[in-house]
Structure 1
Amino acid sequence: MPSSAVAPNSRNKSGTAASERTPGAAAAAESASPPNSATSTATATKQALKQRGVPAANGHANGKPNGILSDKRTVSEEHDEQGLDNISDTSNDPNDLTTALRNAVAPYCPSYSVAFKALFLVRTLAATYSNISDCDEVFNFWEPMHYLQYGTGLETWEYSPIYAIRSWAYILAHAFPAEIARLAMSANSLQVFFILRIILGAVSAHCEATLYRAVVDEVDPRIGRYLLLALISSAGTWIASNAFLPSTFAMYTTMLFFSQTLQPPRQHSGKRTFWAIFWVGMGALLGWPFSAAVGLPFAMEELLVHSRNHSKKKTVRFRDWRVMRLIRLVTTSVAVLGLVLVPIMAIDHYYYKKLAIVPLNIVLYNVFGGDVGPDIFGTEPWWFYILNGLLNFNFLLPAAFLSLPLLFITKFTVPDVLPSPPSSENLPLKDPLLWFSLKLSPFYLWFAIFTAQPHKEERFLFVVYPLICFNAVVTLFLVQKMVQRVLNKFVARSKSSAIHKYSTGLVWVILVASAAISLSRIVALHEHYSAPIDVYRKAYDLVKVPSLIHLEGSDPAIVAATIVSDTEKLSVAMAGDDHQEPGGAPIRVCVGKEWYRFPSHYFLPDGTKLGLIKSHFDGLLPGEFREGSRQTDLPPMKTQPSAAKGKEHTPFRVDWRWSAERRPGTSLVPKQMNNENKEVPEHYTPLDQCQYLVDLDFSGRYPDNDSQATQRHQEEDAIEPRYLQDKDHWERLYCKKFLDTQVGAGRNRWVRAFWLPNKVVVALTRGQTKTWGDYCLARRKSV
């Protein structure tokens, strides 16, 4: 085994070898043989290990105390005896022997670096090929950030200063790395979009690798290995990891928070408490306030689970330690509240021009919104999250639900394999069952809270996606141990190593099967529904706009120009305020029924805007942010009387590209906007002002696809006509296939949700095949 692979398993966080921390196998060997007899030392060491009935290094795996989920069985039952028998008895160095023993019985666990690289590779692929699963991601986050960066974008009612339930601080946290990437790489807006998704993937990979190593070091290396595979391969983490959503940000902070809580509780040190509260507070205040719910079991643990550490201070009397913990929780929470919330409020006040506590506004709207709460945007049945979880995690979701019941079953059936968390002095906790139950409970708490809410969306579950994986692999581990113990009672002792191999292999079979189903899900999402991103990505090159002049220190300016070609005439002029566009208008790329699949203005070239045309959707569509000055310098500010008599001064103003003065839409109350999801006709663009059109046409629904069938459809549906069939007015520029879920094999839910070979599809649907629609970018023909 390469040395790089051994290093993570041979030392703890402080760099001390595992064998140096406790009287492990090496110590037992040295006491049983003369110092100068290497052969006797090796033999005695192996015998001591088997007699002690504990894993290598006295129950330490990977150089850490491994009390959680560790067995009290003998080494012959726990590990493969062949690994001990293969150790050379002729080793001349006792340290080499100790290392060999440890590597023989401890499973290989990748280091943080290896895990991060593997995760980052998968997250980079997701950033490139995954779809945008929620239109809220575009209109509530990508569009406001585009407005800050480039001066144009669509605005939802949530950003109106009247409601202020979206934070500009959260947008800035993503806009800064995007702007740095733009400047450093001279990237256009389309490239900035994918660069930011890759950055988000890197953040997710770091958080996942940190969580994985915490599980390896503090829980069990086998559970850590299972968790790493589950995180890498599940379709749920593929979808959530790169999303520009507060729930994804809260997922990042939840992983860092959970990594801290896996450490044993300490009495005298507040470091664990501070960082745990900091990360859960950051996720709740900057991301999504409801993510604070995952921290409730931690608060209970601080008040219910006692521990001692290596502190030289005198141990606190048992009846007083809860008071000290409570004081520490309160003071740390107040400190984190000040560190995180105050800067957020300052940024939001700067852009909204009013005092706005956005986390509080979100809670008030969602909990006390009444008739104008989130339920007006749709409700789902109680089993919505169960179905969604089965699609994204398949076997792992039911396994996650079984983790806590199985923990209690283990307590009364096979108590030998019950989790037993370590303490800093290697002393058992008073109630390890309680301690570990608190680690499994955040997933149940989150699932229960959001299942009870009528308004449900897939992104609401992103926060606990890593916890689903953790609970699931704990279930698989416990089942493996119980199967081993039961079979050991009925199988000869000589076959115990084979039992261990087969039971471990069964867990890997389940995980690999789950990964294969997730891969099928990922491929199906890309093959069936990736057309919108592909078409808009191509639109960045195909949509033609007049030449743009970039003035240093200002936004791009659209200058008066006339471009005459054989097919079209386009006339544009300098664009001023959104309500006053003298001499012309920007190029419009319009969408109707496909408005919710628009991936943001990052996919449109400068000088282009999205136009929304009427469709059957009768709810509230986003409007446009008020645009500010496009001049090099802002108009001079008027002088005001100074405090000194007879003197005047000019007020201070921040003059930068993202300043509130250059982006007045952040503080101006948009007209024709409401929080009741009522349609606003002023948000529509007349069709005759559209130079380009993106539409989806399901030609498979019209078998006799001729002019008469098209004419009949136009008469039947005047609101959503088949624009792409109107060849007299529209010319197709680029098309991609999009699965039709109402005709052919697409009606089958299994065919829609997972990729299956064509022969399987035909057999499953009794001879039917997939029918595809045309998702196209079209250009208006010259008249």
Structure 2
Amino acid sequence: MRWFLRMLRFGAAFILLSLGHYFAARFLPVADCDETFNFVEPMHQLLYGSGLQTWENCPRYALRSWLFAWIYASPALLVIGAPRLRNVDVYFFNRIFYGRLACLSELFLVYSVWEAVSGRAAAVTLLLLLFNYPVPHAAVSALPTSFVMINYFMALGCWLRSGRRNVRHTSTPARQSQLQQTETNYFSVFGAVFFVVFACAVVWPFAGFAVLPVALDLLMRHPKASILSLLVSLALILPLAVGFDALYYCRLTWSAWNLVRYNLKGGAELYGVEPWYYFVKNLLVNAPALFLAGALAPFVLFLSPALDMGQRNNRKHKEGRGVHADTSTVLQKHAAQSSFPSFCSLTSAKALVVSVSTALSSSTAASSSLSRSRMLLWVSPFFVWFTFWLTVAHKEERFMAPVYPFLVLAAALSLTCVFFSPRSALNTRTGTKTTPKRHAQVCVTPSRKTWLLPAAGCILLLLSGLLSFSRGLAVYHFYAGPQRLMYDNYDVLQHAAEYKRVANANAGNATTLHDLYTVCVGREWYRFPSSFFLDPQRARVAFLKTDAFAGALPLPFTRHGGHATCNCGASGVNDLNEEIAEQYVSDAAVECDVILDSHSADDLRELKDYPPDVFAYPLGTTQQRLLDVARTSMWCRVLYYPFGISERCAVWRRVELLSKHRPTAVAAS
């Protein structure tokens, strides 16, 4: 029966997490154009033989892992041959699939917190995962930082389990003491090491800096198991990573090492620098309650009594079967056994005093200090990582995703200590711990005000959830316009592409790259969702020269070539973020069939990157809106406000597809 209840709890938690991750996968737009061009486009190349190639995927530089591309593309192989399944549906299937995978890793952390800390801390951890927008949004993204985050959820869970204590009772009935000894859980040690190596060796080696406390702790406590786990993990992962890179770059190389060498030269600063407080501001915007609770965790843990550790490992111990029964458990049992707690007998009072004294004497200051230091060690990777990025000039929002697991744990421990600790649930009427006098009738009953702290904690979590929901709605409402437009008009674009193909075939023209139906993007190039939103056999994306941007843009892979990934798109491809002529169409009126662009309703004199008299026909039946960030105040765009407030305070741009052919001609095909 117990296993059934456990599975029931697991299923309920998984469903709740899955709902949040599903909405993130299905509705939230791509958070970073790096995801689209550096990682999603190579996936499209692997699956459909076409896509865009950035300089980072050029064999000359080889900064991105093809093993990572296959890891994220491989779930699509399960459905790619299904009838009536469009490639845009395959894209969303992949996002939903990895959202489900992230749910499992998050649940593993929740249950590990349950094993290592307490059920209360595990419940708070689950609520924080449910009520904070950045975690599900990162979980469904095809980014190295997201891959690291999923692996670190698993690694942190294994780390928490690696120090479990087993209670062994002595076989002699006369002896009432218990001996505790730490057993090395080799599977947990191997899991912690493996998932760290998997994340760092495949996609993002810098993430290893965050888990230095994990490495030092495991080396000190389990040196042989840690070193053996490291060697086995490297032997399993490194050949695969190097092998895939060698296969697709057509030379012996390792992308993770190339990435380290490039960043040591300071090349990342070419793509923007941010002030030192960037991540403070970013986390306060995206997850204010989570960040504040996590940031205060060291102070809370240092000033608060140590949490009751190992609740599930020492279940017999906590149920009072040993002399080390938890004080709160004794008080609860005593209150439950008394029908009228306001009239306590002298005998029961004496029994209570003896029980409390025994419990307190068993909890020495050393053990409390050890528990507190252990929890501080568990949350230290977040502060190591956060401090590191204060000193780095180039910052991006996604760089904080690898330590979300540690931030969630820090916030959970902090909130549990303040609001949901057992020591705050049973106090005397004065709220202070008193020592009962000899021969005095003491009645220890729950205070009428003991519900205030848990209630305040629940209200705080609820407000955190509302803020997170509002932030997610703001991201969807303000920035998902281009993605929604491309998705809604997928069939329209497909029919237009087929119309052009038939026209070229009837004219007897040989099929070339320029004969494909070409969707051109200009100022909104970084919001283009990906080639998954176009028919892979009939359409392509190209870029317009625009005054709004002057830097490197991706070039198309060789279409359907056996060695398409072994070549750079052009000889001028560089790592200096310098534009080259080949990345643009030479004549928009000739090469482009439709333009994806945004227009300001307030500035009719805004210059366009294409001849507006040629592209004068809106394609499709829907138009979408996009927030004009430059003209909208920060307080308006950070959150979504109900009752039409966001609609009135936001300044909008109209996003549409403009064709050079009349829609009636396309419809006639």
TM range (shorter): 0.7 to 0.9
1:770 matches 2:656 = no
Letter in 2 for 1:201: G
* 2:636 equivalent in structure 1: 751
Structure 2 CA distance for aligned equivalents of residues 593 and 547 of structure 1: 23
Q: Select which of 451, 464, 468 maps to 2:407.
A: 468
Unaligned ranges ≥5, structure 2: 164-181, 318-323, 325-362, 433-442
1:383, CA displacement in angstroms?
1.0
- The 3 A distance-change label for structure 1 pair 126 and 185 is farther
Letter in 2 for 1:230: L
- The 3 A distance-change label for structure 1 pair 229 and 219 is same
Cα deviation, 1:253-309, whole Å, max 9, x if unaligned, reads: 00000111111425554222111101111111123212223332122223445xxxx
- The 3 A distance-change label for structure 1 pair 193 and 586 is same
Structure 1 CA distance for aligned equivalents of residues 643 and 185 of structure 2: 60
Structure 2 CA distance for aligned equivalents of residues 289 and 358 of structure 1: 10
1:546, CA displacement in angstroms?
7.2
1:128 matches 2:26 = yes
Q: Select which of 17, 38, 41 maps to 1:143.
A: 41
1:526, CA displacement in angstroms?
1.1
Structure 1 CA distance for aligned equivalents of residues 455 and 312 of structure 2: 31
Letter in 2 for 1:538: D
* 1:671 equivalent in structure 2: 571
Q: Select which of 342, 364, 368 maps to 2:261.
A: 364
Structure 2 CA distance for aligned equivalents of residues 220 and 268 of structure 1: 20
* 1:408 equivalent in structure 2: 302
1:289 matches 2:205 = yes
* 1:105 equivalent in structure 2: none
| Length-normalised TM-score, structure 2 | 0.80
Structure 2 CA distance for aligned equivalents of residues 185 and 264 of structure 1: 47
Between 1 and 2, higher relative CO (CA 8 Å, sep ≥ 6) is seen in 2
- The 3 A distance-change label for structure 1 pair 664 and 769 is closer
Cα contact 2:482–2:527 (8 A) shared by 1: yes
Structure 2 CA distance for aligned equivalents of residues 663 and 475 of structure 1: 53
Letter in 2 for 1:612: F
Structure 1, 734-743 or 387-396: larger mean CA deviation: 734-743
Question: Matched residues, percent identical?
Answer: 27
Cα deviation, 1:489-544, whole Å, max 9, x if unaligned, reads: 72596662533322111111100010001111111111111101111112311115
SS in 1 for 2:404: helix
Structure 2 CA distance for aligned equivalents of residues 542 and 573 of structure 1: 24
Q: Any residues of structure 2 matched to 1:387-406 within 5 Å, and which?
A: 387-406=281-300
Q: Select which of 684, 690, 703 maps to 2:584.
A: 684
Q: Any residues of structure 2 matched to 1:53-202 within 5 Å, and which?
A: 111-184=9-82, 187-202=85-100
Q: Select which of 335, 338, 349 maps to 2:232.
A: 335
Q: Select which of 494, 501, 511 maps to 1:574.
A: 511
Structure 2 CA distance for aligned equivalents of residues 358 and 422 of structure 1: 44
Q: Select which of 461, 468, 474 maps to 1:524.
A: 474
1:235 matches 2:117 = no
SS in 1 for 2:79: helix
Q: Select which of 246, 250, 261 maps to 2:148.
A: 250
Structure 1 CA distance for aligned equivalents of residues 615 and 244 of structure 2: 51
1:735 matches 2:623 = yes
Letter in 2 for 1:539: N
Structure 1 CA distance for aligned equivalents of residues 508 and 392 of structure 2: 51
1:232, CA displacement in angstroms?
1.2
1:770, CA displacement in angstroms?
3.0
Letter in 2 for 1:135: C
1:693, CA displacement in angstroms?
0.7
SS in 1 for 2:450: helix
* 1:273 equivalent in structure 2: 189
Structure 2 CA distance for aligned equivalents of residues 5 and 506 of structure 1: 33
Structure 2 CA distance for aligned equivalents of residues 439 and 728 of structure 1: 58
Cα deviation, 1:14-55, whole Å, max 9, x if unaligned, reads: xxxxxxxxxxxxxxxxxxxxxxxxxxxxxxxxxxxxxxxxxx
| Length-normalised TM-score, structure 1 | 0.69
- The 3 A distance-change label for structure 1 pair 422 and 771 is closer
- The 3 A distance-change label for structure 1 pair 254 and 182 is same
SS in 1 for 2:627: strand
SS in 2 for 1:499: coil
Structure 2 CA distance for aligned equivalents of residues 284 and 526 of structure 1: 31
Q: Any residues of structure 2 matched to 1:443-462 within 5 Å, and which?
A: 443-462=382-401
Structure 1 CA distance for aligned equivalents of residues 445 and 546 of structure 2: 69
1:508 matches 2:448 = no
Q: Select which of 618, 623, 627 maps to 2:555.
A: 623
Cα deviation, 1:418-449, whole Å, max 9, x if unaligned, reads: 56558978798863333222101011111112
Q: Select which of 585, 607, 613 maps to 2:515.
A: 585
- The 3 A distance-change label for structure 1 pair 456 and 176 is same
Q: Any residues of structure 2 matched to 1:311-350 within 5 Å, and which?
A: 325-350=222-247
- The 3 A distance-change label for structure 1 pair 727 and 610 is closer
Structure 1 CA distance for aligned equivalents of residues 54 and 212 of structure 2: 33
Structure 2 CA distance for aligned equivalents of residues 277 and 572 of structure 1: 58
Q: Select which of 243, 254, 259 maps to 2:157.
A: 259
Letter in 2 for 1:597: R
Equivalent pairs counted in the alignment come to: 579
Structure 2 CA distance for aligned equivalents of residues 432 and 615 of structure 1: 59
Structure 2 CA distance for aligned equivalents of residues 722 and 546 of structure 1: 20
* 1:598 equivalent in structure 2: 528
Q: Any residues of structure 2 matched to 1:416-495 within 5 Å, and which?
A: 417-418=306-307, 420=309, 431-480=370-419, 481=421, 484=424, 488=428, 490-491=430-431
Structure 2 CA distance for aligned equivalents of residues 138 and 603 of structure 1: 12
Structure 1, 349-358 or 424-433: larger mean CA deviation: 424-433
Cα contact 1:545–1:608 (8 A) shared by 2: no
1:619, CA displacement in angstroms?
0.7
- The 3 A distance-change label for structure 1 pair 721 and 377 is same
Cα contact 2:501–2:538 (8 A) shared by 1: no
SS in 1 for 2:515: coil
Cα contact 1:626–1:668 (8 A) shared by 2: no
Letter in 2 for 1:574: T
Letter in 2 for 1:739: L
1:742, CA displacement in angstroms?
3.9
* 1:74 equivalent in structure 2: none
Look at both structures and tell me which one has the larger radius of gyration over its CA atoms. Answer: 1
Cα contact 2:114–2:311 (8 A) shared by 1: no
Structure 1 CA distance for aligned equivalents of residues 423 and 201 of structure 2: 44
Letter in 2 for 1:536: M
Cα contact 2:531–2:540 (8 A) shared by 1: yes
Letter in 2 for 1:693: I
* 1:301 equivalent in structure 2: 217
Letter in 1 for 2:130: I
Unaligned ranges ≥5, structure 1: 10-109, 306-324, 550-557, 565-569, 576-580, 630-661, 703-709, 763-767
* 1:354 equivalent in structure 2: 251
- The 3 A distance-change label for structure 1 pair 445 and 210 is same
Q: Select which of 585, 596, 600 maps to 1:698.
A: 600
Cα deviation, 1:577-621, whole Å, max 9, x if unaligned, reads: xxxx5xx62111111000000111100123111110011201111
Structure 1, 538-547 or 600-609: larger mean CA deviation: 538-547
- The 3 A distance-change label for structure 1 pair 296 and 769 is closer
SS in 1 for 2:596: strand
Cα contact 2:293–2:414 (8 A) shared by 1: yes
Cα deviation, 1:431-470, whole Å, max 9, x if unaligned, reads: 3333222101011111112222110001111111232222
SS in 2 for 1:202: helix
Cα contact 2:521–2:597 (8 A) shared by 1: yes
Structure 1, 419-428 or 196-205: larger mean CA deviation: 419-428
1:132, CA displacement in angstroms?
0.7
SS in 2 for 1:672: coil
